[in-house]
Structures are given as structure tokens and as C-alpha cells.
Structure 1
Amino acid sequence: MSLEDSIVDEDQKPTYLDQVLLLFYQVVSATYLLDLAVIGYRLSQVQQTDSSTVPLASAKVAAWIAFTLNWTSFTLDTKMPRSRRSHLVHHFLAWIALVGAIVSVSPYIAHGGRTLFSGELFRSNIKLSRRMLLPSVTGDILERVMIGTFALRLSLLSSIITLSAVHLLGGLNVNPLPLPAPLLKDPSKNSPLKVKLAAESAEKKERLKKHDTIEEFRANALKSIVPKVLMSIRMMYPVDNKKLQVLLFLRFALMVVGRIIRVLVPLQTERLLRTFSPEAKTNGAVSLSKFDVGSVLLYVFYNYLQRNSSILFLLQNAAEKPLDSFVRDTLQIRFFEHVHSLSMQFHQDKQPHELVRIMQAGVQSVTRVSSIILFSLLPTVCDVTVTLLYFSIVWGWKYGLLIISNAVLVTIASKLHGKMMKRVYRDMIQTGSARRSHPAETLMNAETVKYFTNEAYEVGRYEESIEWSRKSNPGLNFKTRFLDVIQTIIWTWNLLAGCLLCAHEISTGKREPASFMTFVLYSQQLEGPIQSLTWVMDNLRNTLASLDQMMAVLKLEPTVNDVPDAPPLVVSGGEIVFEDVSFQYSPDKRGLSNISFKVLKGQTVGIVGPTGGGKSTILRLLVRFWDPSSGRILIDGQDIAKVAQLSVRENIGAVPQEPVLFHDTIGYNINYGHTTASKEEIEEAAKVAQIHDTIMKFEKGYETMVGDRGAKLSGGERQRISIARTVLKNPPIIIMDEATSALDSMTESDIQQALNKMTENRTSIAVAHRLSTIIHADLILYIKDGEIVERGTHEELIQAAIDNGGQGEYYKMWRIQTGSFYNDSNSTAGDNEVETYVDGKEVVSKGVE
């Protein structure tokens, strides 16, 4: 096979288009069978065959054979490797089948075509030359069956040709135009981004397989969608705002008025046409008494009110804006409040920009769901219902049946299309998420990107994500517009059937000619609502998907909860006690095991040890970011698990290793520790933190903007502002998590002085990497693998290790940091002597290997 005849699809599984074409072929085949059955029945009822009957039957058999060949080529095309040649054969035979269907009515054209084109259609009860259909005394029912089957067959064969052409053109252009090559490397199947997306896609598909069952769909149909819709409507209702309640009622009332006017316009048109009917004429003209000027004015007024710029729609929009603002603001505040109430575990698992996106999409979803239900779906259902009742009662059941059949066929088509688009939307959401998250993540880490000169690499990755997104949904535009094509075909043939029926009744005198225009206007008015039902339902499903994400967050409960009626923590001195505290982050990640220690009022405890040993976990448990798996933590004799967690944090000040400042002024960031503090108190806290003089050197002083996360300040300046913030809070307990580990020696010395001043007469716990910052602590804990392996003061730990022949974790860490290991060769002590310093005094131990 040549390159031009290359396979269109990578796999040979039937596509959605194949399934639609197969359905069309089956229906067309059924119409041929029905035609032949009717002809056979008529032949068995007459004694002498009309001259047109044999050509008619022969033509239909020939057309059926041509159609069968076309169907066979289509079947082979779906079962065998697909090439452009096979598509061309299938498309050519589809044209043959259509020509055969038209030729099959050639006996009618030869014997009775003049009846149709001479205008006798309306005067002969739509008997389209019985010689064409059935030769002699057949009733109207069989004639109409033949007309209907021919019309259906012609429309389906035309659709088959159209879809086949699309399929053929799609095969010729299956490969999308290539994007510019990434600057670092060409996109490959094994690029990290594509591997990640492919893994996520496989995981999602596997997870969705478990849930895409008929039972779950039925269970969730009312169990999931209806409660969400009702919940959205409840959220939309302004309970405590009388003004907004009036606006909501006004908006709903205006919507009802608009729907009533839609019903009145066709009736008013019919009334005008009757005014100009022959019965209303006098000497060939309409008499003044018969001419109703008010009817014309009313008709124009009704049409004006239907326009989007009319006063009716302007009033609806005016009532809508305050309601939408109310819902948006209320939900955003509620979501923001709820997210802040969740425990730290949630915030560690979620990206901030993702939470903002969920909040914005969810808030929009609530307003859209309410708007869709109350002002799109409900009016549409009302339009269809009122029109159905009007035609069924006033015009007859046949017209009601036409409306029902139109709605049913559109619903079926929408259902089939929805199944296809469900998979498409999933892929779009997945790839779209990658496209959105990558630029946000890269720009947030712009400094790192520039450090490693990876600007071109990141642009290449972004191009990969765009290419992946585009290639993951080939033919997306056709798939989304395919339903419109099917709906238009259904509506057109339904309109044709209704017009023929109405014309027939006019020709028999059952209706006035003006009724024809009334029917056409009503049909045109129904086209939009019926077809929009699909859009409304699809939009509702997509909107509920966004609402699901927000509701999933709102349904989350904090992992750290207060006991009912928990009292506040009352701190009198600040004594801290850990009693056999154990904690585990997850089954495969160990935290702490049986930690016990006591910190007296005003004491300082230093916690040291290797990375990942559990040092910071102790601090997080103390402020109740998590609760222990077992054991107790007491502050002044009160179990912190039994008091309000906010009161625990109110009494604890924290100085983290990497302080994060808000994108605001220096004064605001210091004031964050005590939002009601005065300017003098802020400056005093800055002086304690030894940052006041530096601040005053800035042009705007305390009004200087610090930049995103404090990017305009140095590390030492950020740390001292963090200390000032804690000083301003003035808590009885202070915790410090490696507050000086990322600073140079000079800055560390300044920061240490500020820390010492801040912790005077306060209980404090300091996690440290540099032992020089905690050598004066009242108690030092060495944590390793979640356990306390050594405890004591600096002098006690050093002396214990010396007495033990130099064996001690803290001692080894101290010697590494003080350089003792590297100075041993130059030591003045003997070969078996180890020298170190305790509180400035040299300690020499003999006989240490």
C-alpha cells in the first residue's frame, strides 16, 4: 500500500461515525422492505396489474440492490484496513444508492408528475398519482406510508453521502499540521510530560471504567443531579435580603411574560392574515371596519418585546446582575472560610492556584446551574408543553404527535452524541489542565528557571502540552457540530410532514389559509427550544462537573477537630509536656514514636538531629496542625486535644525557616502578628527584631512593598520581619524551626541576638541545624528516626560522649560543625586525646580511639 493509501485509523475498532452510518443503513434497508411489502400487498389485492406497477417494483428492486452493494462496501471498509481507495469506493456506491432511490420513483414521474407541479396537490387530497405508488384503489394510509418511507430514505441516503464525504476528507487530512519544533528537543513519545499525561490518562480511564456502569448511571440520575440542582437553587435564593427576593421574583415574572408573548405572536399573525382574507374584502379591498389597526400595533409590539434589546430583556438583565453578584460574593466568602478551616494536611496536598480555580469555577457553576434550570430549561419545557397542548387540543392529535416525535428524535440523537462527547470532554479536561498548570507552575518558579537557563526548555514543554492537547482530539470541531447537522435534518423532515398535513387540511376546507402561517411560525419557534434542550443538558452536565469539584472541597471535614464545647486554652506559665507521643503521617511514612519530654516555664529546648528524623513534626503537633496517634501534649496541665485549637495557636508564636511575606507593605507584614496594633507598637517590634534601622533606609519606610513572597528583600530582612511579627504577637510560647539555617554567619549573629531578646522569659522550642544557636538551651533533644536517642544540656551531652569513648550522636554532630575532625592532625593533644570545648572551656579526654 502506498503512502497516499496509508491507514486512516491506527486501530480498526468501529468509530462513532461508523455506528451512526450503520444505524442509517439499517433504517434505509427497513424502508425498502416496507415498500416492497406494500407493493406486494397491493399486487395480491388487484386482478389486473397497472402498467406502472411492474416498472415501479423493478426500479425499487434495482435500487435496493445498489443500496445493498453500498452497505456491503461500508461493512468491508470497517472490518478491513482502511485506505483512501476503500473510502472512495464506498462513497461512489453511496451515490449510486441515492440515484437508485430517486430512479425508483421514475414511474411516478412518468405517469403523474404533472399532478404535483400543476398545483393539484392541494386539490386532490395529496393523492400523488396513485399509478406511481399503488395502481388502483389503495387507501390514503398506504399512500402516506409510501411517501413517508421515500422521504425518510432520501434524507438518510443524503446524510450517508454527506458523512461519507466528511469521512473521506478526514482520511486525506488525518495528520494535523506540525507545530514548530521545541527549542531544546523534538517532542517524543517518551518525553516526561507525555509520559506523565499518558499515565494519568490510563489511571483515569481505569477508574472511570469502574464507575461507568448502567446501574451507577441509574442510581446517580436522581441521586446525584437532582440534589445538586436543588442545592444550587437554594444557594441562589437570598434568604435574608428582601430586596434581592423581590428582584428574583421580578426576574422570574418577566421570564413568564416573555414565554407568553412567544405563544401570542403566531396567533396574532394568524389574526392579521384573516383580516386580509377574501371574506374581509369589499370590492377587492379591505374595508376600514374590517381592518384592525390595533392588531397591527399589537403584532409589532409583541415582536419588539421578543428582541434582546427590548425593555423586557433589559429589565431581566437589571434584575439578574445583583442576584449574580450576591451569589458569587456569598459563595466565595463561604468557600474561602471553609478552606481556611481545613487542616494543614489538606493545604499540603493542594496547589493554591488549583484551589482558586475550583472556587471560581464552582461559583460560576452555581449561578449557571440556577440560571440554566430557571431561565433556560424551565422556559424551554414550558414552550414545548404549551405548544404541544395547543396543537393537540385545537389542531388535533396528529400535530401533537409531530411535536412529540420531533422532541423524541432530537433526544435520542442527543443521547447518542452525548456518549461520544463524554469521552471527548474527559480528554479535553485532562489535556486542558496540563496546559493551564504548566505555565502557572513555571512562572511561579521563574527564578529557578533562570538559574538553570531553562527558558527554552520550558517553552518546549509548553509546546508539547499544546501539541498533546490538539492531537488528543482529532476532528473535535466536526464531533461538536455533528449533532447540529442531525437535529437540522430531523427538524426539516418534521416540518415537511407538518406542512403537507396542514396543506392537505387547507385543501379540504378544514382550515383557513392563515393557519398555514401559524403552523410555520410555531414550528420555527419550537426549533430553537427543542434543539437547545441538548445544549442546555450538555451545559448542565459540564457545569455540574465544575460544581462537583467545589462541593467536594466544601464537604471535606478538618482532620483535626475540637471536642464539642471545647474550652479555650488558658496559659499561666507556658509549661509544655509531651507524654508518650506517637504519630505517623501514613502507613509507609514514620513520624514519631513514644516521645516524652518536659519544658518548664521560661525554659528553652533545642531539638537537633538528621533530616527527616521528626524534629519539625514535634512543632506541628504542638500547634495542632495534626493530632498525635497516641499520647498527650499538655500546656500548663491542659491537654491541647481537649481545648479549642485556635486558642492553642493564639498562645504560640512561630518563626519558620523560610518566612513567607504577603505581597504588601513591610508595615502590613509586621502588623499581621497583631492586626489591631498601633504604629508605635509595630516600630517597637521592629526594633526588637533589629530591622527598624534597615526599614527606615528605604525610601517609603514601612510603606515599602516587599514583592511577591518578600522577593524584594534579602533572606535576613525577611527573617527579621518574621521575628518582628512574632514579637508583636507577644505570645507566651515561641517555636522556631531552623530560623537561621539559611543565613550567613554575620546575619545569623544579628538574628540570634534578636531571637534571644524575643525569647526572654518565654517558653521556647527551637529546631536547629547549627548547634551554635542552641548550646545555651536548658535541654537539648537529639531526634533520630522519630525517637529521642539523647537528651541533656550541651555540656552534659559532650561530657557523656567523652566518657563513653567519643560515642554520641550529638557529640559527632558537634565535632563536625566545629571542625574537630579536620583539626585532629594539628592538635596539641596526644594521639589518644580528643579535644573539644564546652562553654568556652577546653575539655581533653585521654584514651579515646
Structure 2
Amino acid sequence: MKLRHYGPPPKDRNDWKTIRSLIPYLLEFKGRVALALLFLAAAKVANVSVPLVLKEIVDAFEQRQALLMLPVFLFVAYGLLRLGNSLFGELRDVVFVKVLQRSIRRVALKVFEHLHRLSLRFHLERQTGGVSRDIERGAAGIRFLLNFMLFNILPTILEIGFVAAILLVKYNPWFAIVTLATLVVYIGFTLWVTEWRMIFRRTMNEMDSKANTRAIDSLINYETVKYFNNEGYESRRYDETLQAWEKAAIRNQTSLSLLNTGQSFVIAGGVTVLMLMAGHGVMTGTMTIGDLVLVNAFLIQLYTPLHFLGFVYREIRHSLADMERMFGLLDRFPEVPDDPDAPDLAVTRAEVRFEHVDFSYEPDRQILHDVDFVIPSGHKLAVVGASGGGKSTLARLLFRFYDVSRGRILIDGQDIRRVSQRSLRAHIGIVPQDTVLFNDTIYYNIAYGRPEATREEIVQAAKHAHIHHFIESLPKGYDTVVGERGLKLSGGEKQRVAIARTILKRPRILVFDEATSALDSVAEKAIQQNLAEIAAGHTTLVIAHRLSTIMDADQILVMEAGRIVERGTHAELLARAGAYARLWNLQLKEELERPRRAVGNGIVSAP
């Protein structure tokens, strides 16, 4: 499988912008950050002082009088400095850990809330597995970036400055020049190779997200995979992405080895030159053995974190790449935003009015054409028609998942585009055709309609939805877990849970989007009677497939290809012998023929 994304990094990527976006989270704890930086500086001062004390110890032993008295003070100072370096480092971590974890929590929460603000179009197009993995890697990237950038790159730069200053003041300027030249070559080489390697990292990230998307999508649709014996097909699709990831991972590791080898050459060259210079100084008498030990200790002390600095820089670049997708989600703007300072919807009569509404999901495909109707307060309006006629789009527009292309939707005279979406949806309850439940208990799923409701209210809602007795018959009752997407319940049971959830919400406006489509005839009749009781006094929009369920509607709209072609009561529409009458007669015929098509009666109609 060919990798399509080997190429130069995207020009619109701004690592500094990503880093700056984290600063507000650090400033929430200014005192802790300042104290952590103070401990960091103290640790580096102690670390740089260790070779200086070691030099004095060596020089003391080199002199004759050292044989008469052990330099106990120097040994104690050496031990305390070693302890101080470790102690200050631990104190730094203890102080900063709250800043780190709080920042990760804040960013994760911000992304989560932002995803809920994005439009329905985004969520219909998104790939759940990929988005999940992007957020997971992004959070890990933030953890690494904050921890290592602040406490590895900054202290290493600080230590380099200390060492260069000491070498420049105490010894020949060439020691400082060679040290800094080695650092420049090392850093330049690291930056150049790491930028090149980022191509492979991004490809790994993309393939990882794609593989996760395919895996989760396949597992969610486990039954469909089994129905069609497509386990092998799913495995091949998954492995195609893993093969691409494998190629990128191999190139990533190979290039890493090249980088490490090059860094080792640079460091070895610098160390060799400096030690030759120090050895020459000892031979000519311009430097002592202690000076030689000091230079060697400085080099070991400096190049060890410098080598780690190369690793940290690589990982920071990887972390920034990991964060790209997550912060890219934050760059997605809601398609349907609230107006600034949008007021709450004030509902008194709950009258719903569609005024000459046009709507298109895509510019070249118009769904609704001049749809105009009113649902007076407390009335029930039904919409019928063939699939694809735009019926369910009415509910999506009423909830303002999309904005109309032309015209407007009013509730009690208020344009729903001018009020807050939260207040709008608080007044509308819906029982959708395809009910998806949370992987939690039945109690939780019913209570989701109004989380603050009491248990008595939840049980009462279940009774109204004719599901209480079924729940009580289960071994765990209301504490029964329904499984992912509610797959442990039948379609009818899920639908009744959804009805109970909507009843519990107690909205002024009700929407039933083929609410009884998954129920058998007995359950449907029982719930239809109950829904009629629930809808009494509510403004109700019913999107129906079976016409027998909306015979009592105050008004019925017949839609074809996004247009209202007929309107009136059940009796009026039958009398006109038009589109509604044709649908009615067709469904009556289907009801009469259904027993003849049933398997086991000796007659099986052709498919």
C-alpha cells in the first residue's frame, strides 16, 4: 500500500502557536511555576559546582600537605552538592506535578466540550476511532511537552551557559570556543535530521488513527461482520493500514539510528579535542591534574544531558506532531454558532411555525422547498411521505442541528437562530427512529432525560412508556447494563427506554420521529394510546411511516421530494383521493397480504 504523505511538513503548522496555547494553563499556578523554576536553577547550580569541588580535592591530594590532613570539608561539600542536585530536582517535580496534571485535564476538557459544540455534520462525517486516538496521543504529547521542555531543555541550556562561562573565565578561551562550536554542530545536526524524520512520524500517526478507526468500526458492527462472514475481509482491511504503519515505523527507527550515530560522532570529536587541549596544558604546566579532571567532569556532565537533549527535542517534535490533530479539532468552528449574548427561548404557548423554509445539506442538492406550516399550541401535526422526502430533516432543523437556507423557524414568534441552542433544546423532546443508548444501566439511560430527577419520577416515566414491568422482570432490574449502543435490548425495548427518557424530560414541544417503528403490533397499540395521553396539551410533531398511527392528528402534511403536496385531516385527505389516499390504500393492502407472506402458512411470496 503506497504511503501518500511523505513530503514536506505542512506550511500551515505553527509549533510556536501550539506551545503558546499552553501558556494560559501554566499561568493558572504562577507561584508554583516560579517555585519550580527556582528549584530547577538551584539543582543546576549544585550540579555545576560538583566538578569545581572535585578539582579542589584532586589538587589537594596532588600537594604534599594533603598527606598530613584529609580535606574532610571538601568531601562533605561534594556529598552535599550531589544531594542538593537530586533533592532540588525532586522538589521541583513535587511542586510542578499539580500544574502538569491540571493543564492536561483542562485541555482534555476543552477538546471534549468543543467536540460537543461542533455541528451534526462534523459528527456524521467523523471517524470515532481516529478522533479517540488523536485525543489520546494529544494528551500524552501535552504531558511530555510541559514536563520535558520546561525541566530538560531549559535546565540543559542553563547548564551549558554556566559551564561555558566557567571555562571562559578560568581557562584558555579556546576551551569555551570548542565547547560552544561542538554544541552548535550538535544542535544543528539534530534539528536538521529531526525535521526530516517528522515525515515518518506523521505518517505513523495517520496510519495509527486509521487502523484504530477501522478496528473500532468493525467491532461496533460485529453482528453485521458475522452475518456476511466478512471476518477475513475486515482483517485484510485492518492489516493494509498496519502494513503502511509498519513501513513508516521501520523508516522512523532507521532514521533514529542514523541520528544517534551522527550525534555520537559530534560529541566524540568535541570531547577528544578538549581532552587533548587539557592534556597539553598539564604537560606544559599551565593546568593541574585537578584542571584536567575538572574539564573531563564538565564534559561528561555537559554532554550527557546534551545527548538527552537530543532525545528530548526529538520527542518534543513528536509530541507536537501528536498534538497537531487534537488542536486541529479545536480549530474546527461550529457550523451553527449562537449569536453573541443570545437570549434564552421564552416559551409560553409553544407554537411552532415553519415559514417558507428551504434547506440543502450540500449546495447542489436541495432537500426542502418552500416548506410552510404552523403547529398551534397544544396541537398535533403529522408528516408522512416516502423515504427521502425530507421528513426527518424537519426535526433536525427544529433542533437547530442545521440552519435553514431560506425562510425561518419560529417558536412563539421567536426566530430559533436568535436564541441560545441550549434553551431551545431544553423545550423540545424527541423519540428518534434509531435509538442509541449509553453503555450503562437502564436507570442511567432513562435518567439521562433529566439527571436530577428522583427515582420515583424515573420509575413513573418507565410506567408511562410501558416498560416498567419488563425492567422489573430482569434479574438486576433498573441496574441492568444495556451494552454498547443498547445492543443487549431489543429494538422495541430500546424504543420504550427512549420514550421514557423523553417523558422524564417534560418538554413543551414533542417530536416523534417514527417512534414506534421498531415495535410489534401489540406494543405499538399500547404505546400509541400512551403517547396520545403524553402529547395531550403539548405541541407535537409526528414523523410517521405507518399512517394508522397518526389518524388522530389535527393536521397531516404529505411530503414528496421535499415539498408539501397535501395537507388536511385524515378524513379530508382520504376524501381527496390524492397522494395520502394512495399511501393509505397501499398500506392497507400490505396489511392484508402480510399473513399470506408469512413463512409456515404454506404460501411464501416471491421476494
- Shared fold (TM-score, shorter chain, > 0.5): yes
1:320 aligns with 2:103: no
C-alpha separation in 1, matches of 2:202 and 2:104: 27
Residue 271 (structure 1) aligns with = 56
1:664 aligns with 2:440: yes
**Counterparts in 2 of 1:348 and 1:495: CA distance versus 1, 3 Å:** same
C-alpha separation in 1, matches of 2:329 and 2:38: 35
Shift of 1:821: 11
Shift of 1:750: 2.7
Say which of 424, 433, 437 aligns to 2:200: 424
Shift of 1:812: 2.8
Say which of 470, 477, 486 aligns to 2:262: 486
Once the two structures are superposed, residues 418-465 of structure 1 have per-residue CA deviations (whole angstroms, 9 ceiling, x without a partner) of 243122223222322233222222222222222223334333433343
1:498 aligns with 2:498: no
TM (norm. structure 2) is 0.91
Structure with greater contact order relative to length (CA < 8 Å, sep ≥ 6)? 2
1:287 aligns with 2:63: no
Amino acid at match of 1:281: R
Alignment of 1:398-797 (within 5 A): 398-472=174-248, 474-797=250-573
CA contact (8 A) 1:606 1:774 kept: yes
Once the two structures are superposed, residues 634-687 of structure 1 have per-residue CA deviations (whole angstroms, 9 ceiling, x without a partner) of 112222222222221111110001222222222222222122222222222112
Shift of 1:356: 3.5
Residue 237 (structure 1) aligns with = 27
What's the secondary structure of 1:566's corresponding residue?
A: coil
CA contact (8 A) 1:235 1:366 kept: no
C-alpha separation in 2, matches of 1:732 and 1:688: 17
Shift of 1:367: 3.3
CA contact (8 A) 2:201 2:248 kept: no
Alignment of 1:107-186 (within 5 A): none
Shift of 1:499: 1.3
CA contact (8 A) 2:204 2:245 kept: yes
C-alpha separation in 2, matches of 1:759 and 1:772: 17
What's the secondary structure of 1:319's corresponding residue?
A: helix
CA contact (8 A) 2:127 2:213 kept: no
Shift of 1:388: 1.6
Say which of 4, 15, 18 aligns to 1:228: 18
Shift of 1:469: 2.5
Residue 149 (structure 2) aligns with = 373
Residue 817 (structure 1) aligns with = 587
C-alpha separation in 1, matches of 2:301 and 2:506: 71
**Counterparts in 2 of 1:327 and 1:753: CA distance versus 1, 3 Å:** same
Once the two structures are superposed, residues 753-782 of structure 1 have per-residue CA deviations (whole angstroms, 9 ceiling, x without a partner) of 232222122111111122222222222222
**Counterparts in 2 of 1:549 and 1:392: CA distance versus 1, 3 Å:** same
Residue 598 (structure 2) aligns with = none
CA contact (8 A) 2:201 2:321 kept: no
CA contact (8 A) 1:781 1:788 kept: yes
Once the two structures are superposed, residues 52-101 of structure 1 have per-residue CA deviations (whole angstroms, 9 ceiling, x without a partner) of xxxxxxxxxxxxxxxxxxxxxxxxxxxxxxxxxxxxxxxxxxxxxxxxxx
What's the secondary structure of 1:276's corresponding residue?
A: helix
Shift of 1:475: 5.0
C-alpha separation in 1, matches of 2:591 and 2:271: 96
C-alpha separation in 1, matches of 2:226 and 2:90: 52
**Counterparts in 2 of 1:637 and 1:435: CA distance versus 1, 3 Å:** closer
What's the secondary structure of 2:98's corresponding residue?
A: helix
Residue 75 (structure 2) aligns with = 296
Amino acid at match of 2:580: Y
**Counterparts in 2 of 1:690 and 1:767: CA distance versus 1, 3 Å:** same
**Counterparts in 2 of 1:335 and 1:371: CA distance versus 1, 3 Å:** same
What's the secondary structure of 1:819's corresponding residue?
A: helix
Amino acid at match of 2:565: V
What's the secondary structure of 2:116's corresponding residue?
A: helix
CA contact (8 A) 2:130 2:210 kept: no
What's the secondary structure of 1:731's corresponding residue?
A: coil
1:256 aligns with 2:41: yes
Residue 599 (structure 2) aligns with = none
CA contact (8 A) 1:365 1:546 kept: yes
Amino acid at match of 1:295: L
C-alpha separation in 1, matches of 2:248 and 2:91: 44
Shift of 1:543: 1.6
C-alpha separation in 2, matches of 1:422 and 1:351: 24
CA contact (8 A) 2:46 2:81 kept: yes
Shift of 1:264: 0.8
Shift of 1:518: 0.9
C-alpha separation in 2, matches of 1:701 and 1:474: 53
**Counterparts in 2 of 1:448 and 1:305: CA distance versus 1, 3 Å:** farther
Once the two structures are superposed, residues 144-173 of structure 1 have per-residue CA deviations (whole angstroms, 9 ceiling, x without a partner) of xxxxxxxxxxxxxxxxxxxxxxxxxxxxxx
Shift of 1:476: 4.2
C-alpha separation in 2, matches of 1:721 and 1:300: 69
C-alpha separation in 1, matches of 2:408 and 2:237: 49
CA contact (8 A) 1:696 1:702 kept: yes
Shift of 1:406: 0.7
Shift of 1:276: 0.7
1:387 aligns with 2:157: no
CA contact (8 A) 1:686 1:692 kept: yes
Once the two structures are superposed, residues 683-727 of structure 1 have per-residue CA deviations (whole angstroms, 9 ceiling, x without a partner) of 221121111122221223222222222222221111111111111
CA contact (8 A) 1:383 1:529 kept: no
**Counterparts in 2 of 1:504 and 1:413: CA distance versus 1, 3 Å:** same
Report which of the two structures shows the higher radius of gyration computed on alpha carbons.
Answer: 1
C-alpha separation in 1, matches of 2:142 and 2:24: 10
Q: Name whichever of 813-822 and 258-267 sits farther off.
A: 813-822
C-alpha separation in 2, matches of 1:545 and 1:520: 37
Shift of 1:816: 2.1
CA contact (8 A) 1:236 1:367 kept: no
What's the secondary structure of 2:287's corresponding residue?
A: coil
Q: Name whichever of 458-467 and 405-414 sits farther off.
A: 458-467
Amino acid at match of 1:796: E
1:800 aligns with 2:590: no
Kindly report the root-mean-square deviation, in angstroms, between the aligned alpha carbons of the 2 structures: 2.4
Identity %, equivalent residues: 35
C-alpha separation in 2, matches of 1:431 and 1:643: 42
CA contact (8 A) 2:495 2:518 kept: no
CA contact (8 A) 1:377 1:536 kept: yes
TM (norm. structure 1) is 0.66
For structure 1, the 5+ residue unaligned runs are: 1-193, 240-244, 802-807, 824-849
**Counterparts in 2 of 1:483 and 1:564: CA distance versus 1, 3 Å:** closer
CA contact (8 A) 1:580 1:630 kept: yes
CA contact (8 A) 2:513 2:544 kept: yes
Shift of 1:305: 4.4
C-alpha separation in 2, matches of 1:474 and 1:369: 24
Once the two structures are superposed, residues 485-533 of structure 1 have per-residue CA deviations (whole angstroms, 9 ceiling, x without a partner) of 1111111121111111112222222111221111111111121233333
What's the secondary structure of 1:368's corresponding residue?
A: helix
Amino acid at match of 2:119: S
Shift of 1:472: 4.6
**Counterparts in 2 of 1:346 and 1:631: CA distance versus 1, 3 Å:** same
